Amino acid sequence: MRVCAGRTAAWLALAVVVAFYPLVVPGFWTYQIGAQSLLFGVIALSLNLLAGYGGMVSLAQMAIAGAAGYATAYFGVNSTDLGIALPWPLTVLTAIALGTLFGAVVGAISVRTRGIYCLMITLAIAVGFSLFARQNYSVFNGFNGFAGVRAPAVAGIDFNEPVPFYYLTLGVAAVALGWLYHFSRTPFGMALQGIRDNPRRMRTLGFDVIRLRIAAFALSGLIAAAGGVLFVWYNGRISPGAIDVQPTIDILIISVVGGMASPLGAFVGAVAFVLLQNFAIDLISPDRFNTLIGLAFLVVVLFSPEGLTGIAQRLMRGLRGAVRAERPPGDRETSTEEATARRIS
Amino acid sequence: MSASDVNALELVDVGRRFGALAAVSNVDLTVAQGERRALLGANGAGKSTLFNLIAGDFPATDGSISLLGRDLSGVPARERTRMGLRRTYQNSSLFAQLTVADNLFIALRGVRPGRFSLRRPHRRGDEMQRVVALAERVGMGGWLDHRVADLSHGQQRQLELGMALVGEPQVLLLDEPAAGLSPAERTHLLALIVGLPPSLTVVLIEHDLDIALRAADRVTVMHNGRLLVEGTPGEIRANQQVRDIYLGSQGN
Ligand SMILES: Nc1ncnc2c1ncn2[C@@H]1O[C@H](COP(=O)(O)OP(=O)(O)OP(=O)(O)O)[C@@H](O)[C@H]1O
Ligand SMILES: [Mg+2]
């Protein structure tokens, strides 16, 4: 019971902090740090679904988010004469549907490969998509892309304002995160974990491994697309540069640094990344930024394959172990709870 | 399909090569419904490979296999499972990071609709009851919430059997289910196997000749990828070739 209560308390504390955060910090911290972390976290979360539960590491998540961003611009308001301005709910639905479809296509192409080959093939898709966007002027508006993309105003609330936009990203992030925890305990989620651990066994248990993997890619495409809509609203613009190799790899770094095995890790990684990105500039010259990120990446991966959340979990476990050692022997109530905790995480 | 004049398994001239190695060759095997068949043979005789061919882990390079009267060529493993075939693996093939309940639940979902469902199963729903019943059937009722990695080897073998009993199995392939067990655990597992419903067809690979001969109606012995002899336990016990090759290679 104690472990459970501790976990509930930690989640409640986190909820209170993120809910009141914009009320106590300046606009820069709300928007550039808070909202940006949350939306990168959503995109990275789509990778944690694939990698953490499915064992498939995809580098196409930023491309999918970008595709949804482009769709938001094309099927919504933008400052070019390209596109079809739909009412915003339809814009968002179209963008997310296209992102989901893109995810399914990436899945269908890469699903027979594993490990490094899956990385390479999804990287090729991401680069190919970025190059295509750069060269296509009829839909993607080539090198310039789209500017003047704006979030809607609903019921008098303008979501282009920092605080409303922060709460919008927070809402999307919370739903996506909660859903992913839920997903891990659904038949689909458990089958995906089974496939991650032993695809051959899953086949002889009656599962269609290929189709399940493609469906997982589609679901992750849906989450990435939601992040992509927020991404284009946040920047107000999208161009091929936003989806080329660098941002593609940034998502992988966020995921790995935060911890791919845990849904919350996506957001931990995103906060770390956005903080570094914003403040490293003050410490070192901008062109050294990648070196710093690379070093940070290396340090985290070397010390904890499960990323920052892995380090936190180990610390917690250590603390709990110390507490347990002080309790009389035979007090074994935590063991099944730990088993439950493990199967959930 | 389930008319009892149809054989559970029919293998005609089945073979499998791995490069130059013929792991299985020219195997003709017929197992009637409800039969208990033991499959014997020294290490490397091709027993597990034969199971892999029947279950569809990989395809045969020669011959044909039919399950309950249906030709299996081109039928993927998952479809064979949904037709009522179940198997266990020589090395435990469980999801070590998940709990006993989760393992059984995954196995159950494999042969039921809703594999893509995004709704959590109800804690006291019909499906969970089936999981509990399965666990109890293989003596794992008290261990539902335990992680598989924390179980003893014997318990893992029991769970492995439970995984193969989900849904409505018709033909069960058990690959050395008692391997590595203590004598007490062996007896326990053997009792579980002997106590399976008589309508269920069981093919059992077992190194322990005594156990195999006690559990089976008929016995097939393989050697170097080929069938050596087939007969009743009494005939096999008396067969000089079997004594020479099988028992000889077991050593004393
Ligand atoms: N996937 C594979 N690739 C290559 N060779 C294989 C493969 N599987 C089995 N073999 C070979 O086929 C032969 C038969 O192996 P198999 O596992 O079927 O024997 P077995 O009768 O089950 O033996 P044991 O009693 O040791 O389990 C062996 O020589 C083995 O090395
Ligand atoms: Mg074998």
pLDDT at residue A323, as a whole number: 64
Q: How do residues A216-232 score in pLDDT, each as one tens digit?
A: 999 999 999 999 999 99
If pLDDT is split at 50, 70 and 90, which confidence band does B4 have? Answer: low
Q: Do A339 and B78 touch (CB under 8 A)?
A: no
In this prediction, residue A302 carries a pLDDT of: 74
CA nearest ligand 1 atom 12, residue = B23
Residue B224 has pLDDT above 60, yes or no: yes
Burial, B134: exposed, middle or buried (Cβ in 10 Å; 0-12, 13-18, 19+)? Answer: buried
Is any atom of ligand 1 closer than 6 Å to the C-beta of B45?
A: yes
Is there a contact between A205 and B107 if contact means CB atoms under 8 Å apart? yes
C-alpha pair distances (Å), B242 with each of A164, B25, B201, B212, B222: 81, 19, 24, 14, 9
For residue B67, the chain A residues in CB contact (below 8 A) are none
ipTM over 0.95: no
Domain ranges of chain A: 35-243
Q: What is the pLDDT of residues A86-144, one digit of tens each?
A: 899 999 999 999 999 999 999 999 988 877 888 899 999 999 999 999 998 888 888 88
What confidence tens digit (pLDDT) does each residue in A277-300 have? 888 777 777 677 777 777 877 777
Chain A stretch 7-36, residues whose beta carbon is closer than 8 A to a beta carbon of chain B: none
B212: Cβ below 6 Å to ligand 1? Answer: no
- Residue A340: its pLDDT value, please? 39
Would you tell me the crossing angle of helices A36-48 and A209-235 to the nearest 10 degrees?
170
**pLDDT tens profile B162-217:** 999 998 899 999 999 988 888 888 888 888 898 999 999 999 998 887 888 888 99
Residue of A nearest to B97 (CA): A343
Would you call A191 an interface residue with chain B, using a CB distance cutoff of 8 Å? yes
Question: Which pLDDT band, with edges at 50, 70 and 90, does A332 fall under?
Answer: very low
Angle between helices A36-48 and A263-283 (to 10 degrees): 130
| Burial category of B131 from C-beta neighbours within 10 Å (exposed 0-12, middle 13-18, buried 19 and up) | buried
pLDDT at A118: 87
pLDDT band for A338, please (50, 70, 90 cuts).
very low
**pLDDT, tens digit (0-9, with 9 covering 90-100), for A161-182:** 888 999 999 999 999 999 999 9
| CB of residue B25 inside a 6 A radius of ligand 1 | no
Judge contact between B249 and B42, C-beta under 8 A: yes
3-state secondary structure chain A: CHHHHHHHHHHHHHHHHHHHHHHHCCHHHHHHHHHHHHHHHHHHHHHHHHHHHHCCCCCCHHHHHHHHHHHHHHCCCCCCCCCCCCCHHHHHHHHHHHHHHHHHHHHHHHCCCCHHHHHHHHHHHHHHHHHHHHHCCCCCCCCCCECCCCCCEECCEECCCHHHHHHHHHHHHHHHHHHHHHHCCCHHHHHHHHHHHCHHHHHHCCCCHHHHHHHHHHHHHHHHHHHHHHHHHHHCCECHHHHCHHHHHHHHHHHHHHCCCCHHHHHHHHHHHHHHHHHHHHHCCHHHHHHHHHHHHHHHHHHCCCHHHHHHHHHHHHHHHHHHHHCCCCCCHHHHHHHHHHHHC
Which candidate from A189, A198, A339 shows the least CB-CB separation from B147? A339
Label residue B105 by pLDDT band (50, 70, 90): very high
Q: Is the pLDDT of residue B42 over 60?
A: yes
Confidence of residue B2 (pLDDT cuts 50, 70, 90): very low
Q: How many residues does chain A have?
A: 345
B227 falls in which pLDDT band (50, 70, 90)? very high
A332 to chain B, any CB pair closer than 8 A? The answer is no
Q: CA of A187: which chain B residue's CA is closest?
A: B117
Task: Confirm or reject contact between A193 and chain B (CB < 8 A).
Answer: yes
Q: For position A2, what pLDDT does the model report?
A: 60
Q: How many CB atoms lie within 10 A of CB A91?
A: 23
More confident residue, A191 or B115: A191
Query: What mean pLDDT comes out for the span B79-97?
Result: 93
Q: Region B32-45: what's the mean pLDDT? A: 92
Beta carbon of B16 within 6 Å of any ligand 1 atom: no
DSSP B34: T
Phi and psi at residue A316, in whole multiples of 5°?
A: -60, -45
Closest by CA to A232, choosing from A3, A79, A68, A94, is: A68
Confidence grade of residue A233 (pLDDT, cut at 50, 70, 90): very high
Confirm or reject contact between A339 and chain B (CB < 8 A).
Answer: yes
3-class DSSP state of B247: helix
The pLDDT, as a whole number, for residue A3 is 63
**Distance between A53 CA and the closest CA of chain B, angstroms:** 12
Q: What is the reported pLDDT for A78?
A: 83
Domains, chain B, ordered by start: 1-84+169-252 (3.40.50.300), 94-167 (no CATH)
Ligand nearest to the CA of B89: 2
The pTM of the full predicted model, rounded to 2 decimals, is 0.89
Whether A331 has a pLDDT exceeding 70, the answer reads no
Ligand 1: which of B21, B173, B221, B224 to mutate, most ligand atoms within 8 Å of CB? Answer: B21
Q: How close, in Å, is residue B52 to chain A by CA atoms?
A: 10
In this model, does residue A328 exceed pLDDT 80?
A: no
Is the predicted pLDDT of residue A243 greater than 70, yes or no?
yes
A16 C-alpha to center of ligand 2: Å? Answer: 57
Mean pLDDT, residues A154-158: 87
* Interface contact flag, B110 A197, Cβ < 8 Å: no
Largest pairwise CA distance in chain B: 59
Q: What is the pLDDT of residue A326?
A: 59
Give pairs for B2-8: CB < 8 Å, separation 24+: B2/B33, B2/B68, B2/B170, B4/B33, B4/B34, B6/B33, B6/B68, B6/B69, B7/B31, B7/B32, B7/B33, B7/B66, B7/B68, B7/B69, B8/B32, B8/B33, B8/B34, B8/B35, B8/B67, B8/B68, B8/B170, B8/B171, B8/B201
- Measured distance between the N- and C-terminal CA atoms of chain A, rounded to whole angstroms: 17
Q: How far apart are CA A194 and CA A200, in angstroms?
A: 10
Query: In this predicted structure, what is the pLDDT of residue A90?
Result: 94
Chain A residues inside the 8 Å CB shell of B117: 186-188
In this prediction, residue B134 carries a pLDDT of: 93
- Name the closest ligand to CA B57: 1
Taking residues A296-310, report their average pLDDT.
78
